[in-house]
Structure formats: C-alpha cells, structure tokens
Amino acid sequence: MEAGGEIFWYLFDIFNFWAVIVLVIVLVWMFHHSLRYRSKDGSNNNVDNFKPGVFPKENDNLTMELTWTIVPFILIVYLTYIAWGPIDEMWSADDDAHVISIVGNQWYWDFDCDPFRGTADAPESSVEMENRSAMMFYNENGILICELTTIEVEGQIKPLLRVKAEESYNFTMTSNDVTHAPFFLDWGLKEDTQPGMETRLYYTPSMDEIGSSLLMCTEYCGKDHGYMTAVVEVFE
C-alpha cells in the first residue's frame, strides 16, 4: 500500500479510533473507581487497612495486571504493523526517481528541479529560464517532469513546485539555519530538515492527486513560522 494520500487518512482514522477507545476505557475506569471507592462522611478513610511502607499483597490481581499489559502490547504491535508498509515506502530508495532539492530557510523554501546543475552528474535535459525563480526540467524523452515558478497566495508571492503524476521523486532536504519540517499536506508526508544534514522522502504522485495543495513547515522556527508555505501542484 503506497504512502501518502488515501493511506495517510486511513491510518489517521485508525489511530484516532483506537485512541478514542483507550480514552473512553480509561475515563470510565477512573470515574467508576473514584465514585465507588470514595470515602464517605463518618466512614473509615483507610478502608483497605493500608499500612505505610507495606505493600498489600492480598490485593494482587494477576489476571488484571496481565490484561493491562498484554492488551496494549497487542494493540501497539497491530498499529505498528499496519503503519510499517507506508513508512517503509516513504524512505525506500527508487534508483530512477528524479531528485528535487528542498532547502529550509527562515522563513521560506528554496526548491531546485535540477540540483546537479553544473556538476558532472548534471543531466542535459534541464532548461533554466532567465528568471532564476523559474525552472523547467525535462526527462530524456523530452517530457516535462518538474517546473519551478511562483504563485500569489493571500497577497504573498510563494514558490510553486509542479511535478508530474506517476513520476517517482526523491525529495532531498536540508536547512540553512534551524530545524524545519516540510509537510506535503495532501500527500500526508512529512520529514524534518536539519542544518548540515540531508534527509530524504520518496514519493510517486498518482493521477488521483492531480491539483494543488499546500506545503507547510510543521516545526516551529521563529516569528514567521506560520507564513512559511509553498504550493505543490501535480499535473497530468
């Protein structure tokens, strides 16, 4: 099952469902015992005859202790199992994936459709426009697979990264200052970026994901953190 998109919301619903179940059980248990075993006026407050420093072994309940140990363990194993595939997909390398560089700065994103430009590894199929804010990259078949330009969002000029559906991408990320965390909102993908360190995400947008969505920073990085956005568009 592929990471991102539908699987993200599927896992989100599953984790929320079990979180609510656990919360309800804990709250019911807590309120039941708070009311049932509370002290009443004129009653002996030490109803269990507790003695300071002495553990009341007669109150042991092995069945109960095994239950609240084994059941959560099984639940954690189950949730880990269903999430392992998508998580592995996010960090599984694809040798044919096109590399896109993402660099976090306070408080904007730098994208590069052709990070190998000017090096021995640079493909010959990239086209850089006179305006440095615009770039197009074509594969060996002359098909546009990455375009970088700008777009106005709520009165501000933001980067617009356009990628092609059903093409594999290797998003190689770092930071120039503090920790950032690009979150591809509609894809359900997120990864931290660290200064002096390179992190990666691999993804293949589907035809169902054609359209625009926000890329946001989800790691607080200073006063303009909330405005550190970009737009990612999947085209056919």
- The one-digit pLDDT tens for each residue of the chain (236 residues) are 444 556 767 788 889 999 999 999 999 999 988 887 776 665 666 666 667 777 767 667 888 889 989 999 999 999 988 888 766 665 666 778 899 999 999 999 999 988 765 444 444 443 333 344 468 888 888 889 999 999 998 888 999 999 999 998 999 999 999 999 999 988 888 899 999 999 988 888 889 899 999 999 999 999 999 999 999 999 99
pLDDT of res. 84: 80
Which H or E element spans position 50?
Answer: none
**136 within 8 A of 126, measured Cβ to Cβ:** yes
CATH topology for the 98-235 domain: Immunoglobulin-like (2.60.40)
Domain boundaries, the chain: 6-90, 98-235
pLDDT digits (tens, 9 = 90+) for 171-220: 999 999 999 999 998 888 889 999 999 998 888 888 989 999 999 999 99
Residues constituting the chain: 236
pLDDT score at 97: 86
Class of residue 27 by CB neighbours under 10 A (exposed 0-12, middle 13-18, buried 19+)? exposed
* Sheet of 211-217, strands arranged across: 126-128, 135-138, 144-153, 156-164, 229-235, 211-217, 182-184, 189-190
